[in-house]
Amino acid sequence: MLENNDNIIQSVDRAFKILDVFNLKEKELGVTEIANRLGLHKSTVFGLLRTLEYWGCVEQNQTTGKYRLGLKLFELGNRVIEGFDLRGLALPFLQDLVERYRETVHLVVHDRGEVVYIEKAEGPSTIRMYSQVGHRAPMHCTGVGKAILAFRSKQDIDTVIRTKGLQPFSPNTITDSRRLHEELSIIRREGYSFDNEEIEIGLRCVAAPIMDNNSKVIAAISIAGPSMRMTDEQMQNLIVPVKETAFKISQRIGYSPLS
């Protein structure tokens, strides 16, 4: 869990700061706009953008002169998880779960104190949760986050709490460190976790961890839906199928319950 921010190469750091200001809401930004937002001079930003453009990490809208993210990033991003068989191996299992319970299923991995969505299978309902592969979410208020966190060392858990905090996202978010530790302890014992509207009111899910061949928890899956459909009874019904699916995926990537 990286914490120091010394000895960072300024121009490279700034280049990534630039890439990071682009998001769904602001897909296209001008030189001046970026400069203001980052508190840099526009000619500095321009030079960085030129380099990023040379690499294809940003591209310029020829009519407006503004910049947007480029496909080189897509290429690099996909290279990260290719050969990383988890994603491809898991997909059929996720789809099977969707088919049986008609709610959206996600696969996430842990990265630097957060979870990253690496695959999803969407349910058929018109009312569905919004989510996007590649997005990040906090660990303390998601089913998948808690499922993964529960199986890390106490020290790791405390590092996450300390560096990321326990920001409240809804009235149900666990914001007390002691409470979180208690909850994680239960999850560790039961092998599954709930998200009871902890990140967003109206959204509930059931999640379970995925283990690799060293019995290390490396990922998690969840099935999520609106509280209207995810009744207490339905949540209970989902525990076994979610755990079973997570178990099948674990086995598929080499996990053996004996070792």
Q: Work out whether 56 is an interface residue with DNA (CB under 7 A).
A: no
Q: Please answer whether residues 53 and 65 qualify as being in contact, where contact means their C-beta atoms are separated by less than 8 angstroms.
A: no
Q: Could you tell me the smallest distance in angstroms from the CB atom of residue 149 to its own copies?
A: 17
| Burial state string for 242-258 with b = 16 or more CB within 10 A and e = fewer than 16 | bbebbbbbbeebebeee
Residue 237 CB: number of other CB atoms within 10 A? 13
Contacts for 217 with CB less than 8 Å, ≥ 6 apart: 147, 148, 150, 151, 152, 209, 210, 211
Q: Work out whether 49 is an interface residue with DNA (CB under 7 A).
A: yes
Tokens 């508190």: give the residue: 39
How many residues bind its own copies, per CB under 8 A? 51
Query: ∠ at Cα 203 (232, 103), nearest 5°?
Result: 80
Q: Work out whether 68 is an interface residue with DNA (CB under 7 A).
A: no
Q: Work out whether 78 is an interface residue with its own copies (CB under 8 A).
A: yes
- Using CB under 8 A, which of 1, 11, 201, 256 touches its own copies? 11
Q: Work out whether 37 is an interface residue with DNA (CB under 7 A).
A: no
- Using CB under 8 A, which of 32, 41, 55, 92 touches its own copies? 55
C-alpha to C-alpha distance for 141 and 145, rounded to whole angstroms:
7
C-alpha to C-alpha distance for 124 and 98, rounded to whole angstroms:
8
Residue 170 CB: number of other CB atoms within 10 A? 14
Question: Which one, 138 or 238, has the nearer CB to its own copies?
Answer: 138
Q: Could you tell me the smallest distance in angstroms from the CB atom of residue 179 to DNA?
A: 36
27-35, 96-104, 196-204, 233-241 -> range binding DNA (CB under 7 A): 27-35
Q: Work out whether 11 is an interface residue with DNA (CB under 7 A).
A: yes
Q: Work out whether 133 is an interface residue with its own copies (CB under 8 A).
A: yes
Q: Could you tell me the smallest distance in angstroms from the CB atom of residue 194 to its own copies?
A: 25
Q: Could you tell me the smallest distance in angstroms from the CB atom of residue 136 to DNA?
A: 25
Question: Which one, 50 or 179, has the nearer CB to DNA?
Answer: 50
The item of DNA, its own copies, none sharing an interface with residue 73, based on CB under 5 to 8 Å by kind, is its own copies
Helix (H) or strand (E) run with residue 207 in it: strand 203-211
Q: Work out whether 41 is an interface residue with its own copies (CB under 8 A).
A: no
- Using CB under 8 A, which of 50, 100, 102, 179 touches its own copies? 50
C-alpha to C-alpha distance for 135 and 116, rounded to whole angstroms:
6
Q: Which residues bind DNA (CB under 7 A)?
A: 9-12, 14, 30-33, 40-44, 46-50, 60, 65-66
